[in-house]
Amino acid sequence: MARIELTVDGAKVSDDVEPRMLLVQYLREKLGKTGTVIGCDTSNCGACTVHLDGRSVKSCNVLAVQANGHEVTTIEGLANGDELHQVQESFRECHGLQCGFCTPGMIMQAVDLLNENPSPTEAEVREGMEGNLCRCTGYHNIVKSVLHAAGGAK
């Protein structure tokens, strides 16, 4: 067991974890942060995307011990109280989700993409979201949501 201390969605947490425990398992099983989900075993789908010190990571690809001393933001910590993040609002406004399983990862990735490039073209959005799989939307409305969020932020 290894002792870790980190900040998750603004709260300081501290636990003993197995060194092999993935960050996504830590979030779900130890902290009950079930808004972040697991969709594959191979880091292809991006459903588990969270922010580590403000940058998007696939939390199935990070060990919990690697997050020691860092700051993690999940979909559950993105909104400011009742005030949704612009990207969350855009996904609802543009129907960027259907079953919603990929959505937490999509939103976290989109936030990172827009932090890096606040005014992306459609092609840049498609490239930037390539690491996140969705089976419901055909990506049409996800791309629209990200572009809408970019427009709204201007």
Partner 1 sequence: MTATAEKPDLEIGRDRRRKEDQRLITGRTRWTDNLALPGMLHLAMVRSPHAHAKIVSIDTEAAKQAPNVVAVFTGADLGANQGACINAWAITPDQVTPPHVPMPSDRVAFAGETVAVVVARSAAEARDAAELVDVEYEELPAALDLKESAADTVLAHPDLGTNKSAYWVFDSAEAGTGGSADEAIEKARGDGIVIEREYRQQRLIPAFMEPRSTVVDPTGEQITVWSATQIPHILRFAIAATTGVPESKIRVIAPDVGGGFGGKLQQTPEEMITFAVARMLGKPVKYTETRSESLMTAHHGRDQWQKLTLSAEKDGTVTGLKVELTADLGAYIAIVGGGVPVLGAFMFNAIYKFPAYHFACQTVLTNKTWTDAYRGAGRPEATYAIERLMDELAIEVGVDPLEIREKNWIKHEEFPFTTVAGLEYDSGNYEAATAKARAAFGYDELRAEQQQRRDSKDRIQLGIGISTFTEMCGLAPSRVLGSLSYGAGGWEHASVRMLATGKVEVVTGASAHGQGHETAFSQIVADRLGVAFEDIEVLHGDTQIAHKGMDTYGSRSLVVGGEALVKAADKVIEKAKPIAAHLLEASVDDIEFSAGRFSVRGTDQGLAMAEIAMATFLAHNLPDGIEPSLDSEATYDPVNFNYPHGTHLCAMEVDTETGGVLMRKYVCVDDIGNIINPMIVEGQVHGGLAQGIAQALWEEAVYDDSGTLVSGSFVDYLLPTAADTISFEVDHTTTASTTNTLGTKGVGEAGTIASTPAVVNAVVDAVRQFGVNDIQMPCTPERVWRAIHANDGDAATEGAAAPHFTEETGMQGQTDRTDGAGE
**Minimum distance from CB of 154 to partner 1 (Å)?**
21
Q: Is 88 in the site for partner 1 (CB under 8 A)?
A: yes
User: What's the sign of the alpha-carbon dihedral 19, 21, 23, 26?
Assistant: negative
Quickly tell me which residue has 């990571």 as its tokens. Answer: 57
Residues in 33-52 at the binding interface with partner 1, rule: CB under 8 A: 33-42, 44-45, 47
Query: CB–CB of 72/23 below 8 Å?
Result: yes
Let me know: does 143 contact 83? Beta carbons within 8 Å: no
Q: Indicate whether 13 belongs to the interface with partner 1 (CB under 8 A).
A: no
Over its C-alpha atoms, the chain yields an Rg (Å, rounded) of 15
Q: Are 72 and 49 contacting, i.e. CB atoms less than 8 angstroms apart?
A: no
Site stretch for partner 1 (CB under 8 A), options 51-59, 63-71, 103-111? 103-111
Interface mask toward partner 1 for 123-142; x: CB under 8 A = --xxx-xxxxxxxxxxxxxx
Closest CA to 2 of 17, 24, 21, 23: 17
Between residues 67 and 142, which has the closer beta carbon with respect to partner 1? Answer: 142
Q: CB of 16: closest distance to partner 1 in angstroms? A: 14
Binding site for partner 1 (CB under 8 A): 18, 20-21, 25, 28, 32-42, 44-45, 47, 74-76, 78-79, 84, 88, 91-93, 95, 97-104, 107, 122, 125-127, 129-144
